[in-house]
Amino acid sequence: MAKVRISDGVLEGEILDNVIGGKYYSFKGVPYAAPPVGELRFKAPQPVKPWDGIRSATAHGPICCQRDIFFGTVETGSEDCLYLNVYTPSLEPKKPLPVMFWIHGGGFLSGSGNSHTYGPDFLVNQNVVLVTINYRVEVLGFLCLDTEDVPGNAGMKDQVAALRWVQKNIEHFGGDANNVTIFGESAGGASVAYHLVSPMTKGLFKRAIIQSGQNLSQWSRCFEPRLRAEAIARSLGEDTTDDKELYEFFKSQPIDKLVGITAPITVEEELGIRINLILCVTDEKKFGDNERYFYGDVYEKLRNGIHEGVEVMIGYTTHEGAIQFNFLKKEGIFDKYNKYLQCFVPIELLLQCSVKDQMAIGKKVKEHYFGNKKVSIETVDPFIKYITMQILQYDVLQYAKILAKTNTNRLFLYQFDIDTERNKYTDHFKARPYTKGKCVCHCDDLVYLFNDEDVPVNINADSYKMIKNVTKLWTDFAKFGNPTTDGSLGVEWPTFDLERQKFLIIGNELTVAEFPDKEELEFWEQLHQQYLPKK
């Protein structure tokens, strides 16, 4: 066992040996904020109450109440869920170690930082301290009434509280509070992008890695949060628009009623032609002296610059859109794509263009990807290419271009293209037979950074070399701000600029390329330039 004294009391963790990568110290289930229950439901996180004696830190704390968005299962959780985990190779290193702070994905609706999915072995083996966290999700974390009682973004403020905890305590685990890299995937990647412009996070980290996410996509920005809250209340039997009645209603609901809710507020959502995240980050209104996590326009914030001096890595997987394939096939959505041209309209354009323009856009997109063919099992390959650009790739590349234009922060862009037996999510969504055999789905990068208990490690397989490559890229960036600083991987990853737009293809080999998906991107850019007011 291992003991550490932090600001709130003494923790007793464990020393794990005979694990992949060798020995490390593990401290699980560490509270970083008070339980957000009772009158604290929907409120910003409050300080932990210090404890006397020794607190065991050998088991994960409860996860937030939720329904898994990938597998559809209701997970046993608790409102008392604000816990984090710390893994370190040394409690007393000769020199403080770089810290990597992981923010899980799950559409702001599900997920946790637990080691079942996010096992620390691969990263800690590269001599960094790893912190993983839980934060409030779904209604508990992202309900917004646009009122002082429920201004929104509680889940994001949880993440900020955990970052502040790191600044206060990580030295006791051998970590360097002045060298913290935040990283996350999907909604976790979007979270990282928001932290780069939030007034609450300045000075809390030095570097950032945005995996398959950003904050420009519509799915990462809450659409009409107050109307959404009223729709959720109606779905639970309360039809009111009164502020106080809504607040008291949500506060009084048993927790199981606030899990797995669907509350469409548009016909497009009702049709279900794409995955919609009903609760996420919102533009907060000002109430007294309350700290606002985020407010304003995301494009304007990015153009004005992210936090000074923070270095950034950002990227996407080759077949992000495969995440929707199995869902769409099961729901018979292909028929709707063949019937309604509006299904092909990128959601930003759908929300801002006239119906006449939507029909013209839909026709252009359909012809670009499918010619005169129908959307079907036989045309899954172009369908996944379309979905990939629609849900993520276009906005990732726009994010990179806008950030590069400011020319104030070092930026590295990548495409994740590794395909081995470890690609857990490709296998789950059953897209491989329809993508000419190769598929690198949304989330497939995770199993090369973390020891996922569902994906056994074979140290004799080529995939183990891929794990070594990816973790070295990520941890060298965390250590030095340069992911290929020593040349040991046989490639030099250049920074991204507008002139050559160089990026790294992280495949079974590492390759530098330039102008990612140039023709595809130009098609999308022309659509947006033609039909949208300038962003």
Q: How far is CA 49 from CA 6, 22, 31, 46, 404, in A?
A: 13, 35, 9, 9, 44
Cα–Cα distance measured from residue 32 to residue 306, given in angstroms and rounded to the nearest whole number: 26
| Contact in structure between 110 and 138 (CB atoms under 8 Å) | yes
Nearest to 374, CA basis, from 417, 339, 410: 339
Rounded to 5 degrees, φ, ψ at 36 are -85, 65
| Contact in structure between 388 and 479 (CB atoms under 8 Å) | no
Active site residue 186: yes
Tokens 């309360």 map to which residue? 238
Active site residue 442: yes
Among the listed residues 26, 186, 212, 217, the single catalytic one is 186
Cα–Cα distance measured from residue 208 to residue 213, given in angstroms and rounded to the nearest whole number: 12
Among the listed residues 195, 442, 463, 520, the single catalytic one is 442
| Contact in structure between 431 and 326 (CB atoms under 8 Å) | yes
Within 13 A of 21's CA, how many CA atoms are on the CB side? Answer: 24
Active site residue 368: no
Nearest to 416, CA basis, from 330, 332, 277, 319: 319
| Contact in structure between 60 and 85 (CB atoms under 8 Å) | yes
Nearest to 8, CA basis, from 200, 114, 161: 161
Strand partners, 78: 64
Amino acid at 31: P
Among the listed residues 320, 348, 463, 520, the single catalytic one is 320
- Residues serving a catalytic function are 186, 320, 442
